[in-house]
Amino acid sequence: MSQAGSTSGTSTSSGTSASSGTSASSGPGLVEQVRRWISDDPDPTTAAELEMLLERADRSLPDGDSPADRIERMDVLDARRAIADRFSGPLQFGTAGLRGALGAGPHRMNRAVVIRAAAGLARYLTDTVGTGAGAEAGAPTVVIGYDARNLSDVFARDTAAVMEAAGVRASVLPGALPTPVLAYAVRHLGADAGVMVTASHNPAQDNGYKVYLGGRAVTGPGQGAQIVPPADAQIAARIAAVESVASVPRAASGWTVLPERVLDDYVASVAARAQAGGPRDVRIVLTPLHGVGGAVVDRVLRTAGFDDLEVVEEQAEPDPRFPTVAFPNPEEPGAMDLALGLAQNVEADLVIANDPDADRCAVAVVDPRARTHHGPGSAAAEGWRPLHGDELGALLGDYVAGRLAQRRTAAGAGAGSGAGTTGSAGITAADGGVLASSVVSSRLLGRIAAAHGLRHVVTLTGFKWIARTEGLVYGYEEALGYCVDPGHVRDKDGISAALLVAELAAELKASGRTLVDALDDLARRHGLHLTDQLSARFTDLGQIPATMARVRQSPPATLAGSPVTEVADLADGVDGLPPTDGLRLLAEDGSRVVVRPSGTEPKVKCYLEVVVPLAEDADHDTVTRARAQARTRLNRIADDLRAALGLSGR
């Protein structure tokens, strides 16, 4: 069963579902496996959880059909399915590290799984970097961060204990902090690896384990970025080789808790991205969506001179329950409603939202074209709307590219007189000149790069690839991820992105303009690029490869009536990219669709883009009509894709 929609954030830890007849007692091997796991579990809470499930699952199914019998039968079968699911296989360690629902068993996030993962990573580091005082440059080093989700601090301590016992020097961040602070610390401290305990924007029941390599473990532009093949498989193999949790030594002490100075240094490095003396008259509403970014974003903005800030009180403090949102992801419908309402009340210029670990940044603005008669007096009625990730990606890309051009011009004019120091947006004339975006992101960034005389690189999806771009000065992907300071953070950073968009909004406001006006200017210069996404969610994960196969065999012949002129299978490697599971369709009118399975959710995603040419002197009404035309074409393309995915009528 599948359904079309845009809701994301569902946990992917469940794996394949067990049939309703699966019984803990029907397979003695499974019962023995559960018993062995319980005896090796370092956490009495998760051990007791499995004991309770075994007790429920071992009951006989009642033969009767009374209400009590039906309830009893359902309870027994639920317990059997739960056990089968938790032991359907290990939680897979890949390029996203680990991520899944908290709970007992090898297919959940828990202390036993984390200790095994830490042992495998420690072995990888000692094998590749060296170990102990006898190593040429000393023992491997790792810095560990964690957010405010349930058990994040426990998983961080377990990781530090395993590392120290294995001969890896461990340093732990001084509290629950955003992911970009950990990514910064890996490069800032020259650590060989970093571990961030977070599930980012996943639901409250999830947690995760993200791994970075730097220092001596990785050199070049990927130093300090998330792991990619073959390192992920090599670490996974060492995790699989761990015999038991009991066999993993854990130190009682010895690791370092880093001083607050590491956070101070990060804040200072981000605040330095802003142009000194620039406009600051902009009223901003902030929400961290119950995550750990609130205080850090507030501090960065105020350090840079943005003092007119309003924080959504109900979402200001970290709360692992995420009580005011269905999914703690600013992309989700409704997630920013409280912030938009506050913005309407205080007459703000800008809304900035971060996801719970603050590596993503969402922005909302007043767009007169978005005004609606629905909900009089509401934020939506006044035209408040979130910017699409591609819209903000283009705005920031053009902003960074323009600043770089200014610095290069100044450096050329001042050659031999000390030019080339850090200035606007923290860019120097000595920096590279590459803008990068993922294969599913808008093609607009390529046109922006060309207009500024810069090179544009298309990468596979994910910042583990974007961050490795040689000469990178800016990178983004449409899922609200932006890297505006690759020299310090080789990952998406929702905090530095928030600062730059605040600066851009303030500069525009000083000249009587808005971010929407800037988007219209980009459309006039490069054509109006409008993007959207269609998702098909699956409860049976086996339908995902079947759906991809069906689209490959019978791709749409037209997109909104325009003939498809190119069908490229990304699995064959396209335009110099490594092979990846996906399909790219190009139509005669310039429309494009990329279809691929999600790497973090049980979904097939379709990324849609249409392009409408515009004259550079097009007036406001012409641009408005072009946007309406583009939206109509996008909707028609979405219908074509629903049919291709077998979603029509569901």
Q: What percent of the chain has pLDDT over 90?
A: 81
Res 20 pLDDT > 70? no
* pTM > 0.85: yes
Domains located in the chain, CATH noted: 17-86 (no CATH), 98-259 (3.40.120.10), 261-511 (3.40.120.10), 527-645 (3.30.310)
272-309, pLDDT tens digit by residue?
Answer: 999 999 999 999 999 999 999 999 999 999 999 999 99
Residues forming beta bridges with residue 535, ordered by sequence position: 5, 605
d(CA 345, CA 365): 14
Distances (CA, A) of 628 to 592, 617, 621: 18, 18, 11
Phi and psi torsions of 349, nearest 5° = -95, -25
Q: How confident is the model at residue 472 (pLDDT cuts 50, 70, 90)?
A: very high
Helix (H) / strand (E) containing 152: helix 152-165
Would you say residue 121 has pLDDT above 50?
yes
For residue 376, the model assigns a pLDDT of 53
pLDDT of residue 9: 35
Identify the active-site residue in 200, 441, 496, 535: 200
Question: Is the link from the previous residue into 230 a cis peptide, with omega within 30 of 0?
Answer: yes
The one-character DSSP state at 194 is E
pLDDT tens digits, one per residue of 39-53: 999 999 999 999 999
Confidence of residue 6 (pLDDT cuts 50, 70, 90): very low
pLDDT reported for residue 18:
34
User: Look-up: residue for tokens 């607009």?
Assistant: 444
- Whether residue 88 is predicted with pLDDT greater than 50 in this model: the reply is yes
Residue 145 in this model has a pLDDT that exceeds 90: yes
Answer for the pair 543, 643: CB distance below 8 angstroms, yes or no: no
pLDDT of residue 12 exceeding 80: no
pLDDT digits over 552-581, tens only? 999 999 999 999 999 999 999 988 899 999
Tokens of 291: 């995550």
Q: For 382-401, b where at least 16 C-beta lie within 10 A, e where not — what string?
A: bbbbbbbbbbbbbbbbbbbb
**Banded model confidence at residue 131, pLDDT cuts 50, 70, 90:** low
Quote the percentage of the chain above a pLDDT of 70: 90
- 200 as an active site residue: the answer is yes
Q: What would the pLDDT profile of 393-443 be if each residue is shown by its tens digit?
A: 999 999 999 999 888 777 766 655 443 333 334 444 345 689 999 999 999
* pLDDT value of residue 381: 75
